[in-house]
Chains A and B, each alone.
Chain A
Amino acid sequence: MHLVVNGSDVVSDVATLSELIEKLGYLGAAVATAVNGEFVSAALRTATHLENSDRIEIVGARQGG
């Protein structure tokens, strides 16, 4: 399955968002996620199934004004 993660192309066989988070090494990290522009809370990641061409954003805390 072809996905776009934080703007970069990724090929992965994960089925859910939580599997993707774990595969990318973000399990337990202070991150938040969105799929195709929609916020997906951490509690719903396991129930969020990914499809081909889905755009996923994984964000964390950064400096800001």
Chain B
Amino acid sequence: MIVYGQELASRMFLGTAIYPSPSVMAQSIRVAKVGAVTASVRRETAGKPPGANRFWSFLQELSVPILPNTAGCQTVKEAVTTAHMAREIFKTDWIKLEVIGEQDTLQPDVFGLVEAARILSEEGFQVFPYTTEDLVVAERLLSAGCRVLMPWGAPIGSARGLNNPYGLRTLRAHFPDVPIIVDAGLGVPSHAARAMELGCDGILLNTAVARAGDPPQMALAFSKAVEAGRLAYLAGPLEPRDMAFPSTPVAGKPLLAAGA
């Protein structure tokens, strides 16, 4: 998968948050052989020596790209300022742009999202917008400078999977050349496989791995599902039909019924 001109090793992006421990996080990232990881910017803790950011040390040793986010931002101003701070720290133009409109659903404020995407694109950022499956919003984001779309599957952390697969399929059909990475709401690997079978280019998830009973095992399962779904998509799946079509040839079936 190529995003913003960069070829990635894998179609699975993994978040770094809410794991039981740093070592479990590291192991999950390793076994899944991810294409990128997400991170955030948050306040430094007062009184803590600056060299004590072990997470920062861990990130620097990773050999996969880092995608910083603007998680929690609710306004254009907040998101743009956060993006600038993230670029300064992570030394990347990549930014996962979140402008959150509502606290129960954590759904994107799509109006603010498009505006922030335009501002950041003009300032040289390579924006990965966390959006919905709305076609019009997608068009606006691409006009604003985005070259990737990251539609949700379901609300963040909900583990519901793909709430609107038809919407995702429509996005895929309308924007055949735009990388589509389904982000948020995945729960089990079959959700990821389904997204890939629809033709999406990748997935991003965090909670379903971090909060699984065995996060590294779940990360591995998701990576296999992403691979399986992609292979299936490329292999040209059979279209669903309402009626049965025999698979075993009818010709040559022995006549065994009595009195026939």
Contact = CB atoms under 8 A, between A and B. Distances in A.
Interface of A: 5-8, 24-34, 37-39, 41-42, 57-65
A53 B153 CA distance: 43
Contacts of B71: 64-65
B206 to A, nearest CB: 3
B43 A64 contact: no
A64 B40 contact: yes
Q: Lowest 8 A-B CB distances belong to which pairs?
A: A64-B40, A65-B15, A65-B206, A29-B50, A32-B85, A62-B42, A39-B84, A63-B17
Nearest to A6: B43
A31 B50 CA distance: 9
Contacts of A33: 85
A64 B69 contact: yes
B41 A59 contact: yes
B44 A64 contact: no
B81 A34 contact: yes
Most buried by A among B17, B51, B85: B85
Contacts of A26: 44, 50
Contacts of B42: 59-60, 62
A60 B44 contact: yes
Interface string B33-69: 0000011111110100111010110010000000011
Interface stretch (B86-94, B174-182, B195-203, B233-241): B86-94
Contacts of B77: 37
20 contacts: A5-B46, A24-B46, A26-B50, A28-B50, A30-B56, A32-B84, A32-B85, A39-B85, A41-B88, A57-B43, A59-B89, A61-B59, A61-B90, A62-B40, A62-B41, A63-B17, A64-B16, A64-B38, A65-B16, A65-B156
